[in-house]
């Protein structure tokens, strides 16, 4: 399992060097960087939906825990945990509900999804495959954005880890989300301020924040353009009434975290 997360981290930081820079800043401060969770995105087509992506983790002993719905973004999500290994990162997987979009939008997506053979989606390494649909069109990217920033991002990046998340609970000096955010901003990295810099409250048992996604150069059929890639997240969990650390996700928080990969004009 460590091997899997190492591979995912490598793929993630190769494309998003800022995450490695921030990770190393914490290490320089003698902090221990533990991953609270990683996240993946997909479409709800049976060939590649949540169930398909979850398989890899179920095989490693992970179990389904929470289910979430995002009406306004037309997404379903689940989270998985490993019951045996306490420091195994949680896994958050969301899927876009295609049937809730315009016919034109669905046609574009279906055309791309059906442009490759089913074997591609059946590959056990799908979560490492990235964009499997060939060089994207910038015009299509902008068209998809009109209905869903999530779909537009997924069209460019496909199947890959969308973010890693630093567990603030495992930090010593940076023991509040306010301190973490200040540290990130002092290091000249931009935070996602959608819905406020800090998502959630101690009463809700989970507070989160994230950087704005890395901006990368991508080759399109029309030429090279700058587009958002992945972000880095920070999360602090609080104990519930029984004294047990809250382990789920909060839909209202997550709804704003998704915005970290929105296209920036
Ligand atoms: C997932 C957003 C939600 C969280 O921790 O609530 C999330 C995404 O952007 O794919 O990561
Ligand atoms: Ni997250």
The tens-digit pLDDT sequence of the chain (265 residues) is 999 999 999 999 999 999 999 999 999 999 999 999 999 999 999 999 999 999 999 999 999 999 999 999 999 999 999 999 989 999 999 999 999 999 999 999 999 999 999 999 999 999 999 999 999 999 999 999 999 999 999 999 999 999 999 999 999 999 999 999 999 999 999 999 999 999 999 999 999 999 999 999 999 999 999 999 999 999 999 999 999 999 999 999 999 999 999 999 8
16: tokens are 């998003």
Q: Is-contact 101 45, C-beta < 8 A?
A: no
Site to probe by mutation for ligand 1, drawn from 72, 205, 257 as the one with most ligand atoms within 8 Å of Cβ, is 257
For ligand 2, the distance from its centroid to the CA atom of residue 165, given in whole angstroms, is 6
Rounded CA separation 134/154 (Å): 13
Rounded CA separation 190/180 (Å): 13
Atom 8 in ligand 1: which residue has the minimum CA distance?
258
* Beta carbon of 41 within 6 Å of any ligand 1 atom: yes
Atom 6 in ligand 1: which residue has the minimum CA distance?
254
Domains and CATH numbers, the chain: 2-261 (3.10.180.50)
**Nearest listed ligand to the Cα of residue 94:** 1
How many helices (H) and strands (E) the chain has is answered by 9, 9
- 243: DSSP letter: S
Rounded CA separation 206/262 (Å): 23
* Beta carbon of 254 within 6 Å of any ligand 1 atom: yes
Q: Phi and psi for 73 in degrees, rounded to 5?
A: -100, -5
Q: Phi and psi for 76 in degrees, rounded to 5?
A: -110, 155
Cβ-Cβ contacts under 8 Å for 12 (sequence gap 6 or more)? 19, 160, 161, 163, 164, 230
Atom of ligand 1 nearest to the CA of 94: 10
* Beta carbon of 208 within 6 Å of any ligand 1 atom: yes
For ligand 2, the distance from its centroid to the CA atom of residue 38, given in whole angstroms, is 7
- pTM above 0.95? yes
């Amino acid at each position: 399992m460590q091997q899997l997360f190492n591979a995912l981290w490598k793929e993630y930081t190769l494309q998003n060097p800022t995450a490695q820079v921030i990770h190393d800043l914490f290490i320089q401060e003698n902090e221990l960087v533990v991953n609270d969770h990683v996240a993946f995105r997909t479409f709800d087509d049976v060939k590649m939906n949540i169930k398909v992506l979850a398989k890899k983790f179920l095989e490693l002993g992970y179990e389904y825990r929470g289910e979430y719905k995002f009406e306004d973004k037309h997404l379903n999500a689940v989270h998985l945990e490993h019951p045996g290994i306490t420091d195994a990162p949680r896994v958050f997987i969301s899927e876009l509900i295609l049937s809730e979009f315009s016919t034109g939008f669905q046609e574009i997506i279906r055309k791309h999804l059906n442009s490759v053979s089913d074997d591609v989606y059946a590959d056990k390494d799908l979560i490492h495959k990235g964009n499997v649909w060939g060089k994207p069109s910038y015009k299509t990217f902008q068209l998809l954005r009109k209905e869903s920033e999530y779909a537009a991002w997924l069209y460019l990046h496909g199947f890959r880890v969308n973010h890693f998340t630093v567990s603030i609970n495992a930090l010593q000096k940076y023991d509040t989300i306010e301190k973490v955010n200040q540290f990130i901003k002092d290091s000249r990295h931009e935070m996602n301020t959608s819905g406020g810099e800090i998502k959630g409250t101690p009463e809700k048992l989970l507070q989160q924040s994230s950087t704005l996604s890395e901006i990368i150069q991508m080759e399109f059929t029309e030429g090279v353009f700058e587009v958002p890639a992945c972000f880095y997240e920070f999360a602090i969990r609080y104990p519930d009434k029984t004294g047990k650390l809250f382990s789920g996700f909060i839909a209202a928080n997550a709804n704003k975290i998704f915005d970290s990969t929105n296209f920036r004009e």
